[in-house]
Amino acid sequence: MAPYPTIYRSFTEQVHRQPDKALFELPDGRTITYRDTADTVHRIAARLIADGVTPGDRVAMQVPKSPEAVALYLATLQIGGVFLPLNTAYTGAEMRYFLGDAKPRVLVCSPDRQADEADSADGLVIETLGADGDGTLLRGDDRHDQVFDATAADPAAILYTSGTTGRSKGAVLTHGNLAANCRALLDAWRYTADDRLIHALPIFHIHGLFVAVNMTLVAGASMYYLTKFDTDAIIELLPRATVLMGVPTFYTRLLKSDRLTPESCSAMRLFVSGSAPLLASDHEAFAARTGHAILERYGMTETGMNTTNPYDDGPRKPGTVGKPLTGTEVRVVDRETGEPLPDGDVGSIEVRGPNVFSGYWQMPEKTASEFRADGFFITGDLGRIDDDGYLCIVGRDKDLVISGGYNIYPKEIEELLDNHPKVLESAVIGVPHPEFGETVVAVVVPSVGEQPTERELLDHIAGDLARFKQPRAVRVVDALPRNVMGKVQKAELRTRYAELFTGVDV
């Protein structure tokens, strides 16, 4: 029987088909071909094997974005390891939790963080990889080119999504999830070897890694690989590129530049937005300015991509996320009964298909509670289907803030604030922000006789919380609004503070 066509196998096919083609084009003018990348992958694979990685072992990565970091991802898949990418902004406390929960065999971290991680090491092998490919990971000269014969059901990656209650959960994605979703996207967006993608997203989330990188590798395309978002760098690349994939903040920022014109975009064929809602007004402003209708799609860590606006067989409608990808089913149901609702009614969005993850790492009960008996996954998003069959996301059933495409779970921040001796209780909410879509505000009730300052509360949580999660404002109040059941009314707080950042010049 032919081996399952994993992302790794599709990559090796491209290596054989077009070894000298550039996979990465870097800002300093260097190019890295498919053949060069395969060589780096085999060196890293040899190193991981020497470190004792066997199929099913987790390989964690917290490193700056580099081509070698993509090679580490591929090497992990090659040898049957399970890839665990971690946000570079995570602090010591956050890292300790992920490492303790996932128990990776190897952690690859940036050379300057080695000492921190070594402190918490428990049978963990530490390797280092810097922004320029420096560090221990690429020190050896050995090559390993045997490929683990992964099936569709074998785990390929674990990505942590914070929980609304309790612990962060590791979503286990299989080789089948990654490959099936990638193929559906290639087809939906007509992505081919002729494409040149501007890649400016981080590679520790599914958007930058499993959408942007996987599609490029499997199609045999090239990417202009930027370490981070930079408006001018992107505008300079537009005349040479064909596709940009970004979060809504990318588009809000591009629209601020006078250099964004129809001429600058004339070589481009596709602008994609996702990970957070794109304002209909930004969609319209972008179309008016460039002649391009941004294609908005909807996904999540547990499911990969679910729906997309059409590439060429229908209009791209602002404020909607389009229709299900081939192979994926989407329904809107009553949250309590699970009964499907008529089109037009707002309900809970559920999805089923080969893209949907296999479960949360070592949390069978949590996994079971998020699936219906018929296999549909409960996303926690609220939406409705419009007259043309397009899905519109209207809100979230889960207590979650999405800032610049990063998910932030209020519960995690509330727990830290509540630990402060001067705090009786707190409620953390997301309020509109002109650049990040939403931003975090903490509303705090002091302990009797106390008057904590914003500064001391922020300092108290700073060491344990990645910077992007830290509240941008703290409000001290006498009491939190509650309903008759005693539940904090966050909707009321969101309304009360809705204008805190509107009109802020960013």
Consecutive H or E run containing 461: helix 454-462
Least distance from ligand MLC to the Cβ atom of residue 13, Å: 26
User: Do residues 385 and 343 make contact, with C-beta atoms less than 8 angstroms apart?
Assistant: yes
Q: Which stretch binds ligand AMP (CB under 6 A): 150-158, 233-241, 298-306, 330-338?
A: 298-306
**Apex CA 465: angle with CA 464 and CA 471, to 5°?**
130
Of the candidates 293, 292, 289, 295, the residue with the CA atom closest to the CA atom of residue 260: 289
Pairing of strands 169-174, 359-360: antiparallel
Contact between 393 and ligand AMP (CB under 6 A)? Answer: yes
Interface with ligand AMP (CB under 6 A), residue from 94, 381, 412, 414: 381
3-state secondary structure 191-252: CCCCCEEEECCCCCCHHHHHHHHHHHHHHCCEEEECCCCCHHHHHHHHHHCCEEEECHHHHH
Site string for ligand AMP, 159-188 (x = CB under 6 A): --x---------------------------
Token pair belonging to 444: 């705090």
- 208 contact, one of ligand MLC, ligand AMP, none, CB 5-8 Å limit per kind: ligand MLC
Of the candidates 198, 306, 188, the residue with the CA atom closest to the CA atom of residue 245: 198
Least distance from ligand MLC to the Cβ atom of residue 440, Å: 8
When the beta carbons of 319 and 338 are compared against ligand MLC, the nearer one is 319
Hey, is 294 helix, strand or coil?
coil
- 436 contact, one of ligand MLC, ligand AMP, none, CB 5-8 Å limit per kind: ligand MLC
Contact between 402 and ligand AMP (CB under 6 A)? Answer: yes
Q: Please, what sign has the CA dihedral across residues 452, 455, 459, 462? A: positive
- 173 contact, one of ligand AMP, ligand MLC, none, CB 5-8 Å limit per kind: none
Name the region of 65 (left: φ>0; alpha: ψ -120 to 50; beta: rest): beta
Q: Which stretch binds ligand AMP (CB under 6 A): 104-112, 124-132, 268-276, 422-430?
A: 268-276
Least distance from ligand MLC to the Cβ atom of residue 462, Å: 10
User: CB-based contacts of 4: which residues, under 8 Å, 6+ apart?
Assistant: 149, 150, 151, 152, 175, 176, 179
User: Do residues 88 and 62 make contact, with C-beta atoms less than 8 angstroms apart?
Assistant: yes
Q: Which stretch binds ligand AMP (CB under 6 A): 35-43, 146-154, 297-305, 436-444?
A: 297-305
Contact between 275 and ligand AMP (CB under 6 A)? Answer: yes
User: CB-based contacts of 442: which residues, under 8 Å, 6+ apart?
Assistant: 413, 414, 417, 426, 427, 428, 457, 471, 473, 474, 475
Residues 76, 80: Cα–Cα separation, whole Å? 6
Least distance from ligand AMP to the Cβ atom of residue 211, Å: 11
Contact between 379 and ligand AMP (CB under 6 A)? Answer: yes
Least distance from ligand AMP to the Cβ atom of residue 250, Å: 13
- 170 contact, one of ligand MLC, ligand AMP, none, CB 5-8 Å limit per kind: none
Least distance from ligand MLC to the Cβ atom of residue 213, Å: 12
Residues 398, 379: Cα–Cα separation, whole Å? 9
Helices 67-78 and 7-17, axial angle in degrees (round to 10) = 120
- 161 contact, one of ligand AMP, ligand MLC, none, CB 5-8 Å limit per kind: ligand AMP
Least distance from ligand MLC to the Cβ atom of residue 198, Å: 13
- 201 contact, one of ligand MLC, ligand AMP, none, CB 5-8 Å limit per kind: ligand MLC
- Judged by the rule CB under 6 A, the positions of this chain that interact with ligand MLC are 201-202, 205-208, 228-229, 247, 249, 274-275, 299-301, 403-406, 436, 467-468
Site residues, ligand AMP (CB under 6 A): 161, 274-277, 296, 298-301, 321, 379, 381, 393, 396, 402, 407
